[in-house]
Amino acid sequence: MKNYITIIGGGLAGTEAAYQIAKRGIKVKLYEMKPIKFSEAHVNKNLAEIVCSNSFKSNLLTNACGLLKEELRRLDSLLINIADKTSIPAGQALAVDREKFSKEVSEEIENNELIDVIHEEVTNIDKMIKEGIVIIATGPLTSEKLSREIAKLTGEDKLYFYDAAAPIVSKESINFEIAFYGDRYSQEKKKEESIDKWKKRLSNGEGKEQSYINLPMNKEEYEKFYKELIHAEVVNLHDFEKKEIFEGCMPIEIMAKRGIDTLRFGPLKPVGFDDPRTRKKTVCNCATKTR
């Protein structure tokens, strides 16, 4: 066992870990591939470079991320302390001057006598692991070579994923005057069910019915939404992302641009649903037909 702990990756997680370890008198070897090699998104030579937004989100304790920051302050987090120190006005959020932030973190880490920062790309982790404890903190843009190493280590065959996530909303913020529970087809009013019973079933979401919530749209609502959707502003993708992006997962705004009804035949298909807001009377012929 070596007399130090190895950390791979000098981002937010790696630098915080390095500080905590050194603070307790243990030596650290921190590997960072910049400035020898840059990922597709990183541009400067500093440690703890902030690539996306400069906001660390809310500082309010009534926000989970704000609470998390307070928990970390109480554990003497170097990075949150520096974020506080380099903050810029942003209302209730903690936003930082990203240059100052990364620079201060770099200085703090590089000037720490117990931390040895080594600027090289790690491509073989086997040896390091045999020698002692290793913390792998290589981030969402881990280099290809190292990704393969990690995949080997974890026994998984793939490590790259395309995050094609849809938004998530909290249930308590949904307006249930309009929304109703139920799976496609099973949500429809059953023949033997009274209107009242049916509505009750949809607003309570009994048992497994809770797995879907449905938001019905009429023609006018749909068309208004459609128009805004196809004209809404998109995020500029880094070049590296453009190449592969449309293989498996098509963004809803791209699908929508194919035609006004494309979504209604795709993810927004209304088949198998009755809208409990509306009422309709129909003559049912089914009984006579079977006779």
Cα–Cα distance, 3 to 122 (Å, whole number): 20
State in angstroms the smallest separation of the CB of 184 from another protein.
8
Among 89, 166, 289, 290, binds another protein (CB under 8 A): 166
State in angstroms the smallest separation of the CB of 107 from another protein.
18
Q: Within a 13 Å sphere around the CA of 81, how many CA atoms are in the beta-carbon half?
A: 13
State in angstroms the smallest separation of the CB of 94 from another protein.
9
Task: Name the segment binding another protein (CB under 8 A); options: 30-38, 85-93, 116-124, 242-250.
Answer: 242-250
Among 113, 127, 247, 271, binds another protein (CB under 8 A): 271
Backbone angles phi, psi at 103, to 5 degrees: -65, -45
Cα–Cα distance, 95 to 59 (Å, whole number): 9
Residues of this chain, 51-90, that bind another protein according to CB under 8 A: 56-57, 61-65, 67-72, 74-75, 77, 79-80
Cβ neighbours for 30, distance < 8 A, ≥ 6 positions apart: 7, 10, 14, 15, 18, 109, 115, 116, 117, 118
State in angstroms the smallest separation of the CB of 120 from another protein.
19
Identify the helix (H) or strand (E) that includes residue 101: helix 98-110
Tokens of 181: 């529970």
Asked if 207 interacts with another protein (CB under 8 A), we say: no
Task: Name the segment binding another protein (CB under 8 A); options: 29-37, 84-92, 110-118, 135-143.
Answer: 135-143
Asked if 274 interacts with another protein (CB under 8 A), we say: yes
Task: Name the segment binding another protein (CB under 8 A); options: 30-38, 85-93, 108-116, 271-279.
Answer: 271-279
Asked if 97 interacts with another protein (CB under 8 A), we say: no
Identity of the residue, 111 or 219, whose beta carbon is nearer to another protein in the bound complex: 219
Backbone angles phi, psi at 107, to 5 degrees: -60, -45
Task: Name the segment binding another protein (CB under 8 A); options: 30-38, 84-92, 112-120, 211-219.
Answer: 211-219
**Exposure class string for 234-259: b at 16+ Cβ within 10 A, else e:** eeeeeeeeeeeeeeeeeeeeeebeee
Identity of the residue, 18 or 122, whose beta carbon is nearer to another protein in the bound complex: 18
Cα–Cα distance, 245 to 112 (Å, whole number): 42
Among 127, 239, 247, 287, binds another protein (CB under 8 A): 287
